[in-house]
Every structure is written in structure tokens, then in C-alpha cells.
């Protein structure tokens, strides 16, 4: 009889413990978000210094095409805008940020390449851009070959400057810095002769009020840049969900609205929305 009372008491303790666990829920979360969506927060990697694409404004808010795309995708994954934690991911650290689990996904002018696909998975593409040059309004640089013996600026970790030097101007003097904002400042001061990266990024800078009328795009299509959303290698579930979200964004015209809102003021002649998995070489 005594043994039976102990067993009953133990059972009561177990029931109470299970009830408390069920009521309290599971507080554990991974650093990016819960894989199924709907967690308290989701961390998304973006650029902080790219007007028209990913920009952190003085009031702490964020704007740009990448921001709009990522916000739409996050909603499809189960997260409202106020559940997003934006994380700055510079070009040189994007693969590492995904591998470490710092973010759930990255939408940061992230061109899909075979080399990068060895380290991360990509959803998309969601935008086709082209490498171009930004020069001063009165510059005589009209072709990439004109950059021989000229100073060319780009961002550390980006392939743009190396592409120019390898394919068009082997004598170009490369200057690599941490952000595109530094390149634009160097171009304005005359420390460099040109800035190279994607035309979408360059158009955003050229359209800023403080640079109005000072710069121009050379209008060259030196490469095709298929922007994808980076996901941790092997996370096919998230990749598939993002692809579905991107298809929905194009289908309901939210993609077109985001393009007009972010690139319209710069008169950027964007390509049509690419099809998922269609990589233009």
C-alpha cells in the first residue's frame, strides 16, 4: 500500500511537470529563425549602404528593392515586418554568415555563381542586373578598355573589379574598400576614376540627391548578374519556400511595384523578372 502511494505521488509530479512544459512552450530558437517560420524573429542579411537596394536610413529604418523582396518572402514564411531583424552582411562575409547561422537568408545583391554555389544554396534569381561603370559626368571613359592606367574602385569580396582587369583593362589600378559609399566618395573627390559594380547599385547612388548631376553610368553590359537569395547549404526546405514566395511576388505584381518604387527615380532600365532557376550566363 505504501509503495502504491509513492507511485501515485510520483505520477502526479510527472503529470504536473508535463503540464508545465506544455504551457510554457519551448523557448529554444536557432540564430536565424525556426525553420518552419512563425517564430518570434527572423534574421535576414542585407546591405546597409546601397541606395535603392539595401539602405539603413538615419532614422534606423530600411529601404530598397532587396529589403522589399526580403520582407515579402519573410511574410510568406510566416513573419510580419516587425518580426524581421535586419543584419548587415558585407560582400566578403556573406558565405560565412550563412554557414555560422547568423541569418536565415541573405538578400544583398548576391549574384549566383558556380563558385558560390559550392558553399551556399540559392533561391531565385529575382533580378537580372549587369555590371557597369559609374564615372563623373564629364569623364571621357566610355568603354571598359579606357580603364587601362586608370584607378578603378570596387568593394572587397566583389568580383566586378577583377572581371574588368582580367577581361578588358589589365593595366587598371584596383582600389578595394569596405563599402560602395567609400568608392562613391573617392570618385567624387577624384581619388579614383571609376567605380564598377552592378548597374542597379550604381543607378541607386547616381540618383541620390547629393550626387544629382555629378555622375553617369557608362551604359555597358559587361556581365550578367543573376541576383539570388542565399540560404545555408543543404537547407532545401527554406530554399523551396523562398522560390515559391518569389514566384508569388512576380505573379501578383508586387515585384513590379517594388521595382518602380526603388528604381523608378533613377530611370533604371531593368530587365523583366527572371524565371526561377533561369540563370543567364
pLDDT digits (tens, 9 = 90+) for 136-158: 999 999 999 999 999 999 988 77
What is the total residue count of the chain? 281
Beta strands in the chain (DSSP E): 42-46, 49-50, 54-56, 62-63, 84-88, 105-106, 120-136, 151-155, 173-177, 194-198, 215-217, 224-232
One of 3.30.450.20, 3.30.950.10, 3.40.50.1820, 3.40.190.10 is the CATH number of 42-128+226-266, namely 3.40.190.10
**Residue 246 CB partners (closer than 8 Å, separation 6+):** 69, 73, 123, 124, 126, 229, 255, 276
Flag the least confident range among 3-12, 74-83, 247-256.
Answer: 3-12
pLDDT of residue 267: 66
pLDDT of 4 higher than 60 = no
Contact by Cβ (8 Å): 177, 153? yes
Q: How confident is the model at residue 67, as a pLDDT?
A: 98
What percentage of residues in the chain have a pLDDT greater than 90? Answer: 67
Cell digits for 18? 508535463
Question: What rounded mean pLDDT belongs to the chain?
Answer: 87
**Residue matched to cell numbers 531593368:** 270
pTM listed for this prediction: 0.77
Q: Is the pLDDT of residue 191 over 60?
A: yes
pLDDT at 266: 65
**What are the residue ranges spanned by the domains of the chain?**
42-128+226-266, 129-217
User: Which segment of 22-31, 75-84, 149-158, 180-189 scores lowest on mean pLDDT?
Assistant: 22-31
- pLDDT per residue over 112-139, tens digit each? 999 999 999 999 999 999 999 999 999 9
d(CA 234, CA 274): 23
Tell me whether domains 42-128+226-266 and 129-217 share a fold.
yes
C-alpha cell, 94: 556573406
Q: What grid cell was written down for 243?
A: 522560390
Q: Which CATH superfamily is domain 129-217 in?
A: Periplasmic binding protein-like II (3.40.190.10)
Amino acid at each position: 500500500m505504501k509503495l502504491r502511494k509513492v507511485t501515485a505521488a510520483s505520477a502526479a509530479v510527472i503529470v504536473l511537470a508535463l503540464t508545465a512544459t506544455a504551457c510554457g512552450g519551448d523557448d529554444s530558437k536557432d540564430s536565424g529563425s525556426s525553420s518552419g517560420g512563425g517564430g518570434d524573429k527572423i534574421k535576414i542579411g542585407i546591405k546597409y549602404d546601397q541606395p535603392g537596394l539595401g539602405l539603413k536610413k538615419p532614422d534606423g529604418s530600411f529601404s530598397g528593392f532587396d529589403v522589399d523582396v526580403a520582407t515579402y518572402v519573410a511574410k510568406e514564411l510566416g513573419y510580419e515586418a516587425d518580426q524581421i531583424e535586419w543584419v548587415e552582411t558585407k560582400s566578403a562575409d556573406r558565405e560565412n554568415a550563412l554557414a555560422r547561422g547568423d541569418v536565415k537568408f541573405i538578400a544583398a545583391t548576391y549574384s549566383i555563381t558556380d563558385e558560390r554555389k559550392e558553399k551556399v544554396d540559392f533561391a531565385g534569381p529575382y533580378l537580372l542586373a549587369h555590371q557597369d561603370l559609374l564615372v563623373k559626368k564629364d569623364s571621357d571613359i566610355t568603354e571598359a578598355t579606357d580603364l587601362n592606367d586608370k584607378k578603378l574602385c570596387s568593394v572587397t569580396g566583389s568580383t566586378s573589379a577583377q572581371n574588368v582587369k582580367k577581361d578588358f583593362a589589365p593595366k587598371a589600378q584596383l582600389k578595394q574598400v569596405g563599402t560602395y559609399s567609400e568608392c562613391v566618395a573617392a570618385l567624387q573627390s577624384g581619388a579614383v576614376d571609376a567605380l564598377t559594380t552592378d548597374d542597379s547599385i550604381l543607378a541607386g547612388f547616381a540618383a541620390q540627391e547629393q550626387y544629382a548631376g555629378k555622375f553617369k553610368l557608362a551604359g555597358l553590359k559587361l556581365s550578367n548578374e543573376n541576383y539570388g537569395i542565399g540560404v545555408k547549404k543543404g537547407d532545401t526546405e527554406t530554399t523551396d519556400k523562398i522560390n515559391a514566395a518569389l514566384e508569388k511576388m512576380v505573379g501578383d505584381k508586387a515585384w513590379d511595384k517594388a521595382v518602380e518604387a526603388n528604381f523608378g527615380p533613377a530611370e533604371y532600365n531593368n530587365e523583366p523578372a527572371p524565371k526561377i532557376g533561369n540563370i543567364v550566363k
